[in-house]
A = this chain, B = another copy of it.
Amino acid sequence: MKPLNVAVLGCGSVGSQVVRLLTEQAGDLAARVGAPVQLVGVAVRRIDAPRKIEVPAGLLTTDAAGLVARDDVDVVVEVIGGIEPARSLILAALEGGASVVTANKALLAEDGPTLFEAAEKAGRDLYYEAAVAGAIPILRPLRESLAGDRVTRVLGIVNGTTNFILDKMDSTGAGFEEALEEAQNLGYAEADPTADVEGFDAAAKAAILASLAFHTRVRAADVHREGITAVTAADVAGARAMGSVVKLLAICERTDTPDGEVVSVRVHPAMIPASHPLASVREAYNAVFVEAEAAGELMFYGRGAGGTPTASAVLGDLVTLARNRVNHGRGPVESAHADLPVAAMGQVPTRYHISLDVADRPGVLAQVAAVFAQHDVSIETVRQQQHVATRDEAGRDAAAGRDGGGRGRASLVVVTHTAPDAALAATVEDLAGLDSVEAVASVMRVEGD
């Protein structure tokens, strides 16, 4: 049997594991593919850089463009990341007749359609299971297993760094900065954690998940994005008091509106009940919860990052593509037939959990309730309690010449019914302007009911 020739672009934490597995499991891979799978080149930035594995010197090259242009390459694995040169290399590989496996979520979320069209034109496969939730098989199930079903919602914990931080905040009561520092010390967060903690990474994955779930092109720019930097210990404690936990969720929803179906895609911290399967996803684990009309509720759980788990997903795609080459077949292509409009965040129906520090006097609740009514937001529950003053508040009272050492206040916790997000946001703004409201202590969306 003619061997299948594989070129790997990038030899970092994922690429080096791909190379290792390709070598170590050569026998098994050949049996599963139906032909030997042969590594013919590994493109790197520097030949002499230190790496975790030994790559036979003859295979290393700094000429990635030359490697993908070789006419004996059947499958190209792109694990460089970033937009360029990854995009040009993938396009060149497809044009040259190779199939492509990529783990590049940023590129797919930014410019997936260009890649899909190039694959279509070339009649080649483009697979990217490793781009979302590392080793967890989630794209193949969405694209194939649920192809006969109608997905209504995807809720994902798709960023391990932020889940680790929020989990720490929940289990230790720490604030964001402290938990971030611990994550950095343990290698769960990078020195510059922006892509993770500001939700950029999760937003790219949300765009990919939504595109597959709803057969609609969704790009990163369509995703409403809020990170976790503003999540406080008080937010987490407030969630706990409600029997909930705070998670950074990637949420893809299909909703009916008077103008027809729309999809919404957003990434933000949210409270979910402790009984929800996603609530027990601890540390840096990932999980994706899918609701489909016929299948009901499904959850996929596992390691969402790391060189070896991600390499497992790359290899799974590689075997499928190689098998398709051997059989002259082709996997499912991009399916954007539904082409649903993406709703603006303001229109998306959400629920808020709002915690207010208010003056402890009659009439306050009526005043607060009136603000909700003005915005047509209906209230599900209100919990009012004597406020235990913090030292800061007592200090402020003292500084302002008030007595009471922070007493004379109450805390009011309101959970709303579903309303358009814009109406909820406007409600919070108006509440903050009320005389009787000293502070909006915490605002958090509620999901997963």
Chain A positions within 8 Å of B, measured between CB atoms, are: 17, 21, 25, 28-29, 31-32, 129, 135-137, 140-141, 144-150, 215, 277, 280, 292, 294-303, 306, 308-309, 311-320, 323-324, 327-330, 332, 335, 337-338
Contacts and interface: CB of A to CB of B under 8 A. Distances in A.
Output the residue of A146, A215, A298 with the most chain B CB within 10 A. Answer: A298
A312 to B, nearest CB: 4
Contact of A145 (B147, B311, B316, B323): B316
This chain: copies in complex: 2
B335 A329 contact: no
A301 B298 contact: yes
Given A148-B315, A294-B311, A296-B309, 15 more contacts: A25-B150, A29-B148, A32-B215, A145-B313, A147-B319, A148-B317, A277-B280, A292-B312, A294-B315, A295-B308, A296-B303, A298-B301, A299-B299, A301-B301, A324-B329
A141 B141 contact: yes
Contacts of A335: 31-32
Contacts of A318: 148
Contact of A296 (B32, B129, B302): B302
16 contacts: A25-B148, A28-B337, A32-B148, A32-B335, A137-B137, A148-B316, A149-B312, A149-B316, A294-B309, A295-B303, A296-B303, A298-B300, A298-B303, A300-B301, A327-B329, A327-B330
A148 B319 contact: yes
A328 to B, nearest CB: 8
